[in-house]
Structure 1
Amino acid sequence: MEQHGVWSADSPWLREAFAALPRERFAPGRLWRWNGLAYAPVELADDPDGWFGELYSDADASVVTQLTDGRPSSSLSAPSVVADMLDSLRLEPGHRVWDVGTGQGWTAALAAWRAGPGLVVSTEVDERLAEFARSRLGAAGLDVEVLVGDGTAAEPPGGGRVDRVHATYAVEAVPWSWVAAVRPGGRVVYPWGRLGYVALTVADDGQRATGWVQGLAQFMGDRHGPAQPATGSAAYAAVRGDAEPEARRTVDRDLAPLEDWGLRFALRVAVPNAVLFTARDADGLNAWVHDGHQSWATFVAQGDGEPSLLLQGGPRRIGDEVLAAWAQWEDLGRPDLYDYGVTVTPDAQWAWQGDPDTGPRWPIGHPHPATAHTLPAANTLPAGISSR
């Protein structure tokens, strides 16, 4: 963590909390490691060096702690991301905290270390995980209440408003109950969809929350929410099947910027249900895109100075949508992810770039990508609260 420069000067308490509550105290005796074909168990009892190696391999690496039907269903998030999200929460002693998605209880423990006894309530949908977290929190001597329930659909626990909501699983649209649970001026920090996390500040009237993207990371999704399109070549192959291209044309642009995470994040904002991955061969960079349903596209490098090919199929021309979003990103001056933010109201949510009131906007939760002009004009919306 020190070598990565993770510790925030604004939150020196984090380093103390991590030392007092090390990750291993909240890890089960069986972890899961991807071996290239499947997830294989790593047992503390049989292979302690491997177990600790998996747990502390990288400050930027999450660790799979539970499988369901052969796929990860719970994990310990990367330490660097946990630290940055808690720093973004701006947590102070005495704050009341709703921790949504207890998991193994580590983030609830760190929040309780800072806030104080009896001030953190955590909600977990999986009864087995909730019981595990209770045992580990109790062993650490922390007074944290762990409730079983769907945090996305639940009302705030305990009555009254909290100062902070901290979510540990990804949602595309923020449940309004999270915002309604927070006092004016309080904060909601949450993972946004497949990529990134956001810190919202609740307005004085409690009727909206606005804030900036804080970082880049991938999180497990809401178990009961809409399924996110899977990533990887197998998911693309499942969408395309053996279909031949329905549209084919050349693309007279270098595909290399598709490896730029600033562009990748901009595509995530403007075409939120598109999954994109890349790989290089002797001709250059190739890219594959799909929406998890029926639409797909392939960008094929041809080498020797020839323009790339765009092949597409399905009801949407998702490759054209990617190119349009790419052009818009360039027109905006190639902003990075920290230039984007989110605004949430009881009736609508949208992402914005540059400025919450005057910048371009993209709706969140809309079934298809749309550009800023589909939303109300900036001057018809109330003034925003923004923070980093």
Structure 2
Amino acid sequence: MIWESSAADLASRATHRSSRWRGPVARTPRHLFVPAWWEAEGDRWELRDPVNEDQWYPAAYADRSLVTRVGALHADQAKPDDHPTGRPTSSATLPSLVVRMFQHARIDDGDQLLDVGTGSGYGTALAAHRLGADAVTSIDVDPYLTDAARDRLAMVGLHPTVEAVDGTGPLPAKFGQFDRIVATVAVRTVPPSWLTGLRTGGRLVTTIAGTSLIITAEKRADGAAVGRVEWDRAGFMHARRGDNYPAGASGLLAAAHEIDGEEITTGPYPVVDVANAWDLDSMLGVIAPGIEHAYRDEGYRRIAVMAHADGSWARATSGGGQMPTVHQGGPRRLWNILDDIRAHWLEHGELPARGARVLITPEGETRLARGKWRAVL
């Protein structure tokens, strides 16, 4: 099996035939950037460490994301009997989404690009093929990832600048300024260093953490940036500052499946799988960030559970076509917040976050507005 034919097939699926990104996808051996990965099987992670092309290429050249790090364990450092716990902390993003993020940046020949979130290095390789390696700088908080990506890029003859940098903090002064900044990690508020590092008229592309909302914005002379929430959608891992994510509300989420609520009511709307209802989840992520979700559909019964690190939790259970019984506890009523959003959706026919105007202040505060609706992140 020859990798060039697999990459060409991937390019035909991930790009339009006239796209300037088709060539970079067709010329990049993605399998070299993902030598091993994790796959979820039931309640645990299983290592995929292929020994031949027949096992490797179908996954490496599929248009899907491959999880390369769970908790603190990189797949290419793991042993077959390792089963890490926790959340995915790095991945090789599906190629079509990498291309779409670059397309949102409206990259031109001669642009200097900052790629935030090196990960496997595959997206960095596409950018280096498109712009030339000298025009691309890529950063990641994880030194192992940047070292591995630098080596893999060199294997295919590409030598962009790749450095271990916490993208949420100051950028090295030696980087200078960029025409485009594209982040394939999600942030709640835009780091001020990104605006400092962006030339006036330059364009920023990122996603809001805990949502599928893509922000594009162009820097003004006063140091702020203005733009919009795109109608497109994307989901990326949250930018992290350390080796792993905080513990979050996973313990409370598990407990909330069984405990009785301080308040028990009947909900006005059917039980919904919030995490897979992208617009609903995004609106909730703007208004009440940090909620974790679980959902089970048992055929005769559906159960949705929500929990937050502040101690708030909710469980909605329905069966037989009945409206759900809702148990809630803690300082906030999470299901009530969700129902308020659903009521707005029914009254207005849509939710206002997607398509909103965006203002990012020089300090990084992000303000969204659409019609009479306003939100400050």
Superposition TM-score, scaled by structure 1 size = 0.80
Deviation (angstroms), 1:81: 1.1
What residue in structure 2 maps to residue 386 of structure 1?
Answer: none
- Please give the alpha-carbon distance, in whole angstroms, between the structure 1 residues aligned to 2:173 and 2:155: 23
* 1:32-78 deviation per Cα after TM superposition (whole angstroms, max 9, x unaligned): 2222232222223x254233233234x2x211223415243321011
The AA in structure 2 aligned to 1:179 is L
The AA in structure 2 aligned to 1:64 is V
Structure 1 spans left out of the alignment, 5+ residues: 365-388
What residue in structure 1 maps to residue 32 of structure 2?
Answer: 25
1:296 to 284, 309, 313: 313
Q: Following superposition of structure 1 onto structure 2, how do residues 1-388 of structure 1 map, counting pairs within 5 Å?
A: 6-7=14-15, 12-27=19-34, 29-44=35-50, 46-57=51-62, 59=63, 61-67=64-70, 68=72, 70=84, 71=86, 72-196=88-212, 197-213=214-230, 215-224=232-241, 227=245, 236-238=253-255, 240=256, 243-255=259-271, 260-283=277-300, 285-304=302-321, 306-335=322-351, 338-340=354-356, 342-347=358-363, 349-352=365-368, 354=370, 358-364=371-377
3-state DSSP of counterpart to 1:253: coil
The AA in structure 1 aligned to 2:193 is S
- Please give the alpha-carbon distance, in whole angstroms, between the structure 2 residues aligned to 1:278 and 1:153: 35
Deviation (angstroms), 1:311: 1.0
Deviation (angstroms), 1:283: 4.4
What residue in structure 1 maps to residue 77 of structure 2?
Answer: none
- Please give the alpha-carbon distance, in whole angstroms, between the structure 2 residues aligned to 1:137 and 1:282: 48
Report the identity percentage. 29
Deviation (angstroms), 1:314: 1.1
3-state DSSP of counterpart to 2:174: coil
- Please give the alpha-carbon distance, in whole angstroms, between the structure 2 residues aligned to 1:73 and 1:264: 21
Aligned length: 353
3-state DSSP of counterpart to 2:239: coil
- Please give the alpha-carbon distance, in whole angstroms, between the structure 2 residues aligned to 1:330 and 1:275: 24
- Please give the alpha-carbon distance, in whole angstroms, between the structure 2 residues aligned to 1:13 and 1:333: 37
CA RMSD of aligned residues (A): 3.0
Deviation (angstroms), 1:91: 1.0
Contact 2:215 2:227 in 1 (8 A): no
- Please give the alpha-carbon distance, in whole angstroms, between the structure 2 residues aligned to 1:37 and 1:308: 27
Deviation (angstroms), 1:255: 3.6
Contact 1:121 1:157 in 2 (8 A): no
Contact 1:95 1:115 in 2 (8 A): yes
3-state DSSP of counterpart to 2:210: coil
- Please give the alpha-carbon distance, in whole angstroms, between the structure 1 residues aligned to 2:43 and 2:319: 31
Superposition TM-score, scaled by structure 2 size = 0.82
Contact 1:198 1:341 in 2 (8 A): no
Contact 1:201 1:211 in 2 (8 A): no
The AA in structure 1 aligned to 2:29 is P
Structure 2 spans left out of the alignment, 5+ residues: 1-8, 74-83
